[in-house]
């Protein structure tokens, strides 16, 4: 396999695959491991073909033991490798939580900065694929709340490639959340792209009447809402957060000051979700700039439902537009 060198149309899954390929090619310290990532290429085929090209010593399967996967990543990072571990599904990462939050997140500080912790944990996350609980979770707040971790979630193939390359090269541990419902999203790209900055949000669509802040799987939903709003003469600015920790507050503040109305949307439950922190900070720091309270759109505080009900559980364009309408009542 070789990475693309001309303009081509790729899915997000393929963009991630090419990012992994190019990182293995360019960095002899990079290693990929996880459940079924070898010959099978992973459940979503993101690691397809990598073991064939780079061998079993650099791309290898692990036992079904997520705590062990995280522990091995920690040990390899201590020894100077750049491990890239995959957790097969979002909720499957929970058994590794103690290793990640107690050890990986703190090792750099615990050693007084003497030991960088350059590793990436890739986690497919989110719903909208017709799967059941433990296969459709949104665990981002757990990781974003943990000091010492960077948390990143791309929403499109270009960002998937550029941000994953940057995450692998970063000296800090990165939780890389891949919205599984977007693995098949297609985009025309000229690869390889330059690695992007991990801590920058992007304006995905310019607007003037309200800002919709989204990330990962909900960016496409927010853009659909903006398209629908435009037919009624309402101009929505869509901001793609990309980095969930740290948050690019400067870009958020600039957009909020411009539109004076803000809606935050995510698939995770509204209660104590990432939107709560964003809403609190904006209301505190920009109280005199906003003309309406910040609205939050997300899931109810219930376990993830059976697939036949997930459309009722997940935020959609209509719910975003209803929230925008509430901000426009002021």
Q: How many domains does the chain have?
A: 2
Say how far apart CA 202 and CA 162 lie, in whole Å: 13
Sheet holding 295-299, edge to edge: 202-205, 236-240, 210-214, 262-269, 295-299
Note if the bond before 47 is cis, omega within 30 degrees: no
Domain that holds residue 301: 202-327
Task: Give the position of tokens 């599984």.
Answer: 180
Residue 182 has pLDDT above 80, yes or no: yes
Q: Choosing from 21, 135, 284, 309, which is the catalytic residue?
A: 135
Q: Give the DSSP letter of residue 293.
A: P
SS3 of residue 80 by DSSP: coil
Q: Which of 78, 75, 81 is nearest to 29 (CA)?
A: 81
Q: Is 135 designated active site? A: yes
Residue 35 CA: distances (Å) to CA of 16, 43, 102, 103, 133:
17, 9, 23, 21, 19
Domain boundary among the residues 190, 210, 238 is at 190
Give per-residue pLDDT as tens, 102-147: 999 999 999 998 888 999 999 999 999 999 888 999 999 999 999 9
**Where is the domain boundary, 126, 156, 190?**
190
**298 Cα distance to chain centroid:** 16
Same domain, 180 and 264: no
Beta bridge partners of 53: none
pTM of the full predicted structure? 0.95
Q: Are residues 22 and 136 in the same domain?
A: yes
Question: Which parts of 112-260 are beta strand (E)?
Answer: 120-125, 150-152, 174-179, 186-190, 202-205, 210-214, 236-240, 243-245
| Residues 169, 271 share a domain | no
Sign of CA dihedral 279, 283, 284, 289: positive
pLDDT in tens, 256-275: 999 999 999 999 999 999 99
């Amino acid at each position: 396999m070789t990475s693309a060198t001309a303009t081509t149309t790729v899915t997000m899954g393929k963009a991630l695959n090419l990012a992994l390929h190019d990182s293995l090619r360019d960095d002899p310290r990079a290693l990929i491991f996880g459940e079924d990532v070898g010959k099978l290429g992973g459940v979503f085929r993101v690691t397809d073909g990598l073991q064939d090209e780079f061998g079993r010593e650099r791309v290898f399967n692990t036992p079904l033991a997520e705590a062990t996967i995280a522990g091995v990543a920690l040990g390899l990072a201590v020894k100077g490798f750049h491990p890239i571990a995959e957790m097969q599904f979002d909720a499957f990462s929970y058994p590794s939580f103690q290793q990640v939050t107690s050890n990986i997140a703190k090792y750099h500080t615990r050693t007084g900065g003497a030991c960088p912790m350059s590793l990436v944990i890739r986690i497919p996350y989110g719903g909208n694929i017709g799967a059941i609980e433990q296969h459709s979770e949104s665990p981002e707040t757990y990781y974003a709340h943990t000091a010492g971790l960077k948390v990143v979630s791309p929403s499109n193939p270009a960002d998937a490639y550029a941000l994953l390359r940057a995450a692998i090269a970063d000296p800090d541990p990165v939780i890389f959340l891949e919205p599984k419902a977007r693995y098949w999203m297609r985009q025309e790209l000229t690869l390889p792209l330059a690695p992007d900055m991990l801590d920058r949000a992007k304006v995905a669509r310019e607007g003037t009447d309200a800002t919709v802040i989204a990330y990962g799987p909900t960016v496409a939903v927010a853009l659909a809402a903006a398209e629908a709003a435009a037919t009624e003469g309402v101009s929505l600015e869509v901001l793609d957060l990309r980095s969930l920790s740290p948050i690019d507050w400067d870009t958020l503040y600039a957009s909020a000051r411009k539109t004076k109305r803000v809606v935050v949307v995510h698939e995770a439950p509204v209660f104590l979700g990432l939107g709560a922190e964003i809403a609190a900070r904006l209301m505190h720091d920009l109280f005199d700039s906003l003309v309406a309270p910040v609205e939050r759109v997300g899931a109810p505080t219930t376990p993830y439902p059976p697939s036949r009900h997930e459309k009722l559980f997940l935020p959609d364009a209509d719910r975003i537009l209803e929230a925008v309408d509430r901000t426009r009542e002021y």
